[in-house]
Every structure is written in structure tokens, then in C-alpha cells.
Amino acid sequence: MKKIIVLLGLFAFSAVLASAAQTSANGTARAKIISAATITNVRDLNFGTIIPGTSQGTVTIANADASSATDSAEIGGRAAGTVSSAQFDLANLDTALHYTVAVDSNVTLTSADNSMTATLGLSDNDVTGVTSKSVYVGGVLTVPAGQAAGEYSGTFTVTVTY
């Protein structure tokens, strides 16, 4: 009986030793903190002072650093005044990241009960490898025949995603 108890004791002790064996490895936790990108409206999109024609026409401003417009033949004329693409400056960009820039597809310009619509375009929608960048918004404004006189304006949004 003593032999059985001693054997059982040795067996139990060896089982404890076997279950106590272990192995391990270390991992590393990392984080990189960057400054939030910023976007600033430097200059508004300005189609200028337009004289409507007797049929619908368009005014086009390039989605580049533009200070002139191209009028379709249906536009009745143009008065002196400022014309420009919109300019937005992006800053605090991380050169290792990819930034996607987007603009609303159109904007409605209103004056009292009257309105006109412009389709919008962006100079750059992918930005990589720089710490700052200017992007430009141009568009094509549709001017209905005999459009009512007034100061027209509307709001659009430029968004940066990263």
C-alpha cells in the first residue's frame, strides 16, 4: 500500500511540474499621432456679372486657378467685375497619408424667389506626399433666358477624407 501511495504522490507531483511549463513572446504597441488636416476657403467661386440672353446659356469657370469665364453664345453679355474659381487651401497634411478631396456635385444660387444651378468640378481629388496643397473649384452655371436681376448666391461643401 505504501508503494501505491508513493507512486501516486510522484505521479501527482510530476503532473504539476508538467502543467507548469510555459513559453511566451513579447509584442509592441504603437501609435502615431498626427495633426488634423485643415481646409480653408481662400476665395469664393464667382461667375461675375452676367446679362442673360433670350435663350438659356452657360457660364463656365475652369476648375483650376482661374480668373476668367467662358460664356456660351446665348449669354447676352457681361459687365465688368471679378470672376474666379474658388480656392481652398489644405494644410497640416502628413506626407505618408492619402487624402481624398470631394466637392458637392452642384450648387443652387438663389435670389429672392429666383434660382440658377451650377455643376461643380474640382482640380484635385487625390492628394499624397505633400504637407499643403491648394485645390480649386470651377463650374458651369446655367443661366435661364431672361433670368431675373438680383444678387445670387449658394453654398457648397469641400470635404477632405483621410
Q: Is residue 18 part of a domain?
A: no
Q: Is residue 22 part of a domain?
A: no
Which CATH number does the domain housing residue 75 bear?
Answer: 2.60.40
Task: Give pTM, 2 decimals.
Answer: 0.81
Contact between 59 and 141 under an 8 Å Cβ cutoff? The reply is yes
Domains held by the chain: number: 1
**H or E element in which residue 14 lies:** helix 2-19
Q: Is residue 93 part of a domain?
A: yes
Domain of residue 75, residue span:
38-161
Q: Is residue 143 part of a domain?
A: yes
User: Could you tell me the CA-to-CA distances from 79 to 16, 82, 142 in Å, in that order?
Assistant: 95, 10, 17
pLDDT tens for the 162 residues of the chain, in order? 555 554 445 455 455 545 689 999 999 999 999 999 999 999 999 999 999 999 999 999 999 999 999 999 999 888 888 999 999 999 999 999 999 999 999 999 999 999 999 999 999 999 999 999 999 999 999 999 999 999 999 999 999 999
Q: Is residue 125 part of a domain?
A: yes
